Amino acid sequence: MEAAEIMTNMEHLSHLTLARAFLKVKRIVVTESIKIDPSW
């Protein structure tokens, strides 16, 4: 495996991890907002 290939794979993995973390945070924020404001 070439170094460039490894770097690309690492970047791709980190992007996926970031996206997953972002979605998790977003879901928590939405849930908290609904708890605070029941009129949603």
pLDDT at 1: 64
Contact by Cβ (8 Å): 37, 31: no
Query: How long a stretch of residues is the chain?
Result: 40
One digit per residue, pLDDT tens: the chain, 40 residues? 688 898 899 898 898 999 999 999 999 999 988 887 766 5
pTM of this structure = 0.55
pLDDT at 35: 84
User: Whole-angstrom Cα distance, residue 6 to residue 28?
Assistant: 33
Residue 17: domain span: 1-25
30 domain residue, yes or no: no
Q: Check residue 33 and give its pLDDT.
A: 87
Give the list of residues 6+ apart from residue 26 with CB closer than 8 angstroms, or none. Answer: none
36 domain residue, yes or no = no
**Structural domain count of the chain:** 1
At 40 the pLDDT is 53
Q: What is the pLDDT of residue 29?
A: 92
